[in-house]
Amino acid sequence: MTEKMKNGVIKRGDIFYICYRVGGKKKWEPCKGMTITEARELLLKRKYDIKRGRLTGKTATFEKIANEWLDIQLQGNIRHTTIEAYKNTVRHLIEHFGDTNITSLKVPEIRAYITFKLETLTARSVVQHYRILSAILQEACNTEYIHKNYCDQVKAPSFTNKKIKLLTNDQIEQLMAHADPQTRLIIMAAFRTGLRAGELCALRWSDIDLDRGILSVRQTYSHGRFGEPKTESGRREVEMDFDLTGELKIWKEQSVKNAHNLIFTANNGEPINWQNWTTRHWYKLLDRLELPRTKFHSLRHLYGSSLIANNVPISIVSKIMGHSKISITHDIYTHEMPDARDGFRDTLQGIFGAGGSKSGSKTLKVVGSNNR
């Protein structure tokens, strides 16, 4: 039996229903197990949420909003490699949430996803998933599908940066002694210039001034594409030592010319597929010589560490490495810097003198005091 609706509440059988308009449409919401008083309280809450913009009546699946967010990123000036990383993360998110209504993604669902992914991925990777998920939910907020981004109430996983395994100078010399000519020169260039893998792959003979011993980083190569450096500071000049300059002069005479004018190429003259190269050359060489299986990127880190260890100012190191901020250089190489406390006791001794507080000792002039 249906009773006449009173103040937006109607009873059908044993269940009360509340009626309100949202998004220009009339909506009937069942209030199972509620009394008429509770139903009226819920109706007041719904009207309040509508007035505050918390309830819009719009619905969409997570997949729809995720793809809309991704389309927006594609329209921006974002590097190809970054877009590929976004696509990969969104694929994981859609596999998990897919047809889930975007309004259903709240704290428990987000925490469950993080816990699930931590079983198979590193904490660093899951943090990236968390950030993309938060960005997608924020897009849902901006388009009024939801009124709140519940990622703001969920703590992202924490992780610590693992210390990079560095090869010794002797081990690097051992690698170069047993490598083929091009692999030898790639290792030498990375170790003595600190260039990133993508920068080495994109290096052309037109980027090298063999007379001045300077190379210019103008492009990168990754995922089958040439591109601009990620930041303006990535475009830089790097001085080469005499040994590397001499080796490059010899290589220019001996190497086969290619259509791209690249210094380093695959066997077919095309740009190097870095993932294949590291598998077939770098790791294979390390394994054959029974050396630690460290990443090729460690050569760049070793170069930066060597500069710091030899008292090159950190501002100069930052420019050479192509870091966008000096703070990045500081964070990476802090452990390589000399301890500011080294020799501090000698400094104190020089300030206060050997006499200390004994009679006849010099009067200490404290900086900023009223002593004249």
Query: What is the spatial distance between Cα 33 and Cα 9, in angstroms, rounded to a whole number?
Result: 14
Q: Which amino acid would we find at residue 101?
A: N
Query: What is the spatial distance between Cα 81 and Cα 88, in angstroms, rounded to a whole number?
Result: 11
The reported pLDDT for the residue numbered 337 is 55
Would you give per-residue pLDDT tens digits along the chain (372 residues)? 456 666 789 888 889 999 988 766 788 889 988 999 999 998 988 888 777 656 665 678 999 999 999 999 988 878 888 888 999 999 999 999 999 999 889 999 999 999 999 998 889 899 999 999 999 999 998 887 887 899 999 999 987 766 778 899 999 999 999 999 999 999 999 999 999 999 999 999 999 999 999 999 999 998 888 998 888 999 999 999 999 999 999 999 999 999 999 999 999 999 999 999 999 999 999 999 999 999 999 999 999 999 988 889 999 999 999 999 999 888 887 665 555 455 555 655 566 655 444 444 444 344 444 444
Find all residues with CB under 8 Å of 94, minimum gap 6, and list them.
62, 63, 66, 67
- The CATH classification of domain 169-332, taken from the options 3.40.920.10, 1.20.1080.10, 3.40.190.10, 1.10.443.10: 1.10.443.10
The reported pLDDT for the residue numbered 25 is 76
CA distances from 318 to 151, 188, 228, 242 (A): 34, 21, 19, 22
- Cα Rg of the chain, angstroms: 32
Q: How many CA atoms lie within 13 A of 342 on its CB side?
A: 4
Q: Which amino acid would we find at residue 45?
A: K
Domain map (residue ranges) of the chain = 9-51, 62-153, 169-332
The reported pLDDT for the residue numbered 106 is 92
pTM for the predicted model, two decimal places: 0.63
The reported pLDDT for the residue numbered 50 is 74
Query: What is the spatial distance between Cα 170 and Cα 22, in angstroms, rounded to a whole number?
Result: 73
- The CATH classification of domain 62-153, taken from the options 3.90.25.10, 2.40.240.10, 3.40.50.410, 1.10.150.130: 1.10.150.130
